[in-house]
Amino acid sequence: MRGWSLAASVATAMVACLLGGCEQDKPPAPEVRPVKSVVVGQRPAGEPVALTGQVRARTEINLAFRLSGHMIDRLVRVGDQVEPGQVVAHLDDQIQKNTLLQTEALLSAARAQLVEARNTYARQNGLLSKGFASNAQFDQAQQGLESAEAQVASAEAQVKSAEEQLSYTILTADAAGTVIATGAEAGEVVAAGQPVVQIASDGGRDAVFAVSGQIMRALPADPAFSVALTEDMGIVAQGHIREIAPQADPVTRTYTVKVALDNPPEAMQLGSTVSGTTRLDAPKGMEVPSSAIVYGGAASAVWVVDSKELTVSLREVSVARYEPASVILSGGLQPGETIVTAGVQSLHPGQKVRLLGSSS
């Protein structure tokens, strides 16, 4: 019996050794790497974008005096309606009136001298024809007449200039509109060109927006805007871009875009906050997360997942443009394909993967 037990033990040990050797010779199972993925889809040709802005007059006029002086009154306030030619402010005009009186006196004296010079010329001309005057006397009379005429012309120009200077002490409106700001009060000394009154002309209204450079580059040539009043989205006006600032604001780095409103409703008062909606001229393509892109030299590629075998292969793609959190592809993928979005740096062609999550 002891011999039988020993034989059985040896046989069992031999079988265990053989089985162990077989397991050591068997190749290890391929590593399955967990990855995150996404199903790509076709990107729409145009994306809506909403901007917040303000209603402003199409033309804003700054009224200012042409000369410096003491402003004795301002006849309008913010919110007042003005008409073309309406007086809005006065300067103290005593100096200009005195200057005008002086130039008028000089003109009167010059005209009196002209009369005397003409009489002298006529007398010398008659005497010369009768031989009682020399040519030198006649030439002197003629020169005196020409000098008197020049003095009259100069005095007349000085009077005209003084009259204009006097008229500059009265500030008038150039167009019909609404006073939206004032820059000086009665009693102040104002400088020439200093804005005294700002008028919003009645010629039309704009919706003014601050637009980022990214949106500017995606705007079509002539986009249509739908502008709604923020406090009542049912009040809507249509518009189109009238003006785009040639350079960005140095502080906000945004561009000022003015949208001309077509027949804006009365509720869209100056200064109202509005929301403008338009569609961007985005190129057709597929949008994928930035983390999905693998850079290999000058080319870009993504890992494409075989949905049946659950293996990955590297495929080169064409990039249309880069956005803050995504990349727009113009070629290389087909809608419905699955790509890896996380773990792309640790993959190799043909590797088995396990999808942790996918979306489209």
Rg of the chain, C-alpha, whole Å? 45
The CATH topology of domain 48-58+201-279 is Elongation Factor Tu (Ef-tu); domain 3 (2.40.30)
d(CA 70, CA 75): 15
Of 13-17, 313-317, 338-342, the range with the lowest mean pLDDT is 13-17
pLDDT for the residue numbered 222: 84
pLDDT for the residue numbered 45: 56
The CATH topology of domain 32-44+284-357 is 2.40.420
Q: Shortest CA distance to 345 belongs to which of 33, 4, 134?
A: 33
**Domain 94-167 bears CATH identifier 1.10.287:** yes
**Residue 33 backbone phi and psi in degrees, to 5:** -100, 130
DSSP collapsed to 3 states, 184-230: CCCCCEECCCCEEEEEEECCCEEEEEEECHHHHHHCCCCCEEEEEEC
d(CA 176, CA 184): 21
Chain centroid offset of residue 310 CA: 50
Give start-end residues of each CATH 2.40.30.170 domain in the chain.
Answer: 48-58+201-279
For residue 151, name the pLDDT band (cuts at 50, 70, 90). very high
Give start-end residues of each CATH 2.40.50.100 domain in the chain.
Answer: 63-86+172-200
Q: Is the pLDDT of residue 343 over 80?
A: no
Determine the average pLDDT of the residues in 64-70.
95
pLDDT for the residue numbered 8: 44
For residue 3, name the pLDDT band (cuts at 50, 70, 90). very low
* Architecture of the domain spanning 63-86+172-200: Beta Barrel (2.40)
Q: Percent of the chain having pLDDT more than 90? A: 49
Average pLDDT, the chain: 84
Give start-end residues of each CATH 2.40.420.20 domain in the chain.
Answer: 32-44+284-357
Task: Select the highest-mean-pLDDT range: 202-216, 274-288, 295-309.
Answer: 202-216
Q: What are the tens digits of pLDDT across the range 102-149?
A: 999 999 999 999 999 999 999 998 888 888 888 888 889 999 999 999
pLDDT for the residue numbered 360: 46
For residue 4, name the pLDDT band (cuts at 50, 70, 90). very low
pLDDT for the residue numbered 7: 43
pLDDT for the residue numbered 52: 94
For residue 29, name the pLDDT band (cuts at 50, 70, 90). low
Query: What is the side-by-side strand order in the sheet with 177-182?
Result: 60-64, 195-201, 177-182, 81-82
Q: Percent of the chain having pLDDT more than 70? A: 86
The model's pTM:
0.59
Residues of 207-232 as b/e, b for ≥16 C-beta within 10 angstroms?
bbbbbeeebeebbeeebebebbbeee
